[in-house]
A = this chain, B = another copy of it.
Amino acid sequence: MNAQPPFQERALAALSAAMPADMLLSDPDSLERYSRDWSGDHYGRPLLVARPRSTEELSLLMKTCHELRIHVVPQGGLTGLVGAAVPSYPGGEVVISLERMNRVRSVNPIDFAMVVEAGCILEDAKRHAEDADCILPITFGAQGSCRIGGNVSTNAGGFNVLRYGMTRDLVLGLEVVLADGRVWNGLKTLRKDNRGYDLKQLFIGAEGTLGIVTAVALKIFPKPEQVETALVGVSSVDAAMQLYARARRQCSDLLTAFELILRGGIEIAINASDLTDPLAASYPVYVLIEASAAGRVDLRALLEGFLADSSDLVLDGVLAGSKAQAERLWLLREMMVEAQGRGGRYLRTDVSVSISSLAAFVAETLEALAQKHPEALAVTYGHVGDGNIHLNIVPPEEMPAEKYDALFHATEEVIFDVVDRHGGSISAEHGIGRVKQAAFLKRADPLTLTLSRRIKDAFDPQHLLSEGRILNGGEPGQGGSE
């Protein structure tokens, strides 16, 4: 009989021996801090937490993990919404927190590019860009907590996708530590480069399953000298989408946001705060519009003219007269998101359909929900300029918490059925992780899964990185052998 200690203990001992002591955390309190994500919905206790300070340290760590076949999961700001960053592998995972690799390496306002380490908080990176009179356009609620590596690994969206694209569109280069500890250096700020396969594309949106992003070169843009914000009331989602089509034609790609909020969302925001109804009367559908420009465009006149000429669609509206007023309009949007969670858990969805079918999608979904689950509150809003809707389900107040899961499951099915009918996506910007995995695998065509598994095998042959996210766990090599 062999009296070897169990794998886990041996692995941890080996890591402790190989790594600088202050890189590893193993006390229960520390482990707890890296166990639960922002939403509170997902929990998983790490074997150990490793906090490398440099690409070299992470490379050494991964070499050791690779040798010992220790599973790892990289962690950024834990603000992801699909449970990808908390430990979940049955045999245990070492959490690799990038939080100490948080430097802004460079900001170049001539190249309109910056290089940032993966652990840098998005808001810090944005501030550095602003110091150079530029903007890093990735913008969303969690920007004070999320980290750039996570933004890249989830291909984060947000409010400004309309004008500036998803995170993918902003990435010029990446530095990545691979599963075997080798460092792939694709960190460059060239704006055009057609030398062979564009490998960085694979790591963007891969949720940490193909490599660990350590640094990112990002496009930045001139800081606009003018920003104009308007909130308008319209009669229906269809009217909102007609307004959008017109705005795209008339606003010369100066639109930065076009956010839809159904009346219910405005009421949630008002009830949960000291904000007042933004318009004199109430309207079924609201649209928050933002545009920005440099000094040589009369942006205010442009937006005023556009809204005045759209009086067939716009029932009432307000064009913010000051930065403070604009912020209060945005606060409505933020409050709504925050307040829907105050009663406890709720179902988040994040779907997309083509822009031309968005109004029909919303109408059909709300009707189906009203018929089958009249007890549930549907909160509907989204980045509709991108065809992206968040249609969330808040359980009735009187419902006991143990019945939530059944409600969430049933209503999600209703929503996804309509998405399927419109050829849409069940995950527009949040990713798959573990939360959307079953729904993803059920719908994905077998060839997409085969190719995806082959890519996983090509980059992480031992399946050590974030195993079980996106694709379900499985034997390495299964993709290539059908």
- A interface residues with partner B (beta carbon < 8 Å): 108, 110-113, 154-155, 157, 161, 163, 165-166, 168-169, 178, 182-186, 188-199, 201-202, 204-206, 210, 221-222, 224, 241, 245, 248-254, 292-298, 301-302, 305-306, 352-356, 383, 386-388, 423-432, 440, 444-445, 447-448, 451-452, 454-455, 457-459, 461, 470-471, 479-480
Q: Given the complex of chains A and B, what is the CA–CA distance between A189 and B387 in angstroms?
A: 10
User: Nearest B residue to A201 by beta-carbon distance?
Assistant: B201
Q: Given the complex of chains A and B, what is the CA–CA distance between A294 and B253 in angstroms?
A: 9
Is B461 within 8 A of A458, CB to CB?
Answer: no
Give, as a whole number of angstroms, the nearest-CB distance from A383 to chain B.
8
Name 29 A/B residue pairs within 8 A (Cβ), A-sorted.
A110-B245, A166-B192, A168-B198, A169-B169, A184-B451, A185-B447, A188-B425, A190-B353, A193-B428, A194-B205, A194-B427, A194-B428, A195-B425, A195-B426, A196-B440, A196-B452, A196-B471, A197-B455, A198-B204, A199-B455, A202-B202, A250-B294, A250-B296, A252-B297, A254-B297, A454-B458, A454-B459, A458-B479, A461-B480
Hey, which chain B residues are within 8 Å of A192, CB to CB? Answer: 157, 161, 166, 352, 383, 386-388, 425, 428-429
Is B354 within 8 A of A189, CB to CB?
Answer: yes
**CB < 8 Å: which of B197, B199, B224, B455 contacts A252?**
B224
**CB < 8 Å: which of B112, B113, B195, B448 contacts A444?**
B195
Give, as a whole number of angstroms, the nearest-CB distance from A456 to chain B.
8
Given contacts A245-B110, A354-B113, A447-B182, contact A430 B199 (CB under 8 A): no
Interchain residue pairs A-B with the least CB separation, the first 8: A201-B201, A454-B458, A192-B428, A110-B356, A252-B293, A193-B425, A252-B294, A222-B249
**CB < 8 Å: which of B185, B193, B205, B241 contacts A445?**
B185
Hey, which chain B residues are within 8 Å of A249, CB to CB? Answer: 222, 294
Given contacts A197-B470, A295-B250, A296-B252, contact A190 B459 (CB under 8 A): no
Hey, which chain B residues are within 8 Å of A248, CB to CB? Answer: 112, 222
Q: Given the complex of chains A and B, what is the CA–CA distance between A306 and B153 in angstroms?
A: 40
User: Nearest B residue to A387 by beta-carbon distance?
Assistant: B191
**CB < 8 Å: which of B189, B195, B455 contacts A458?**
B455
Q: Given the complex of chains A and B, what is the CA–CA distance between A245 and B429 in angstroms?
A: 33
Is B190 within 8 A of A198, CB to CB?
Answer: no
Q: Given the complex of chains A and B, what is the CA–CA distance between A245 and B154 in angstroms?
A: 32
Hey, which chain B residues are within 8 Å of A425, CB to CB? Answer: 188, 190, 192-195
Hey, which chain B residues are within 8 Å of A424, CB to CB? Answer: 190
Q: Given the complex of chains A and B, what is the CA–CA distance between A254 and B165 in angstroms?
A: 16
Is A194 within 8 A of B294, CB to CB?
Answer: no
User: Nearest B residue to A223 by beta-carbon distance?
Assistant: B249
Q: Given the complex of chains A and B, what is the CA–CA distance between A431 and B197 in angstroms?
A: 10
**Most chain-B Cβ atoms within 10 A of its Cβ — which of A295, A386, A431, A458?**
A458
User: Nearest B residue to A245 by beta-carbon distance?
Assistant: B110
**Most chain-B Cβ atoms within 10 A of its Cβ — which of A163, A196, A388, A447?**
A196
A169-B169, A190-B353, A196-B471 provided; 15 other pairs, C-beta below 8 A? A154-B194, A165-B169, A191-B352, A193-B352, A193-B425, A196-B444, A196-B448, A197-B202, A197-B205, A197-B455, A201-B201, A201-B202, A252-B292, A296-B302, A451-B459
Q: Given the complex of chains A and B, what is the CA–CA distance between A451 and B430 in angstroms?
A: 27
Q: Given the complex of chains A and B, what is the CA–CA distance between A248 and B191 in angstroms?
A: 15
Is B251 within 8 A of A296, CB to CB?
Answer: yes
User: Nearest B residue to A306 by beta-carbon distance?
Assistant: B296
Is A190 within 8 A of B305, CB to CB?
Answer: no
Hey, which chain B residues are within 8 Å of A302, CB to CB? Answer: 296-297
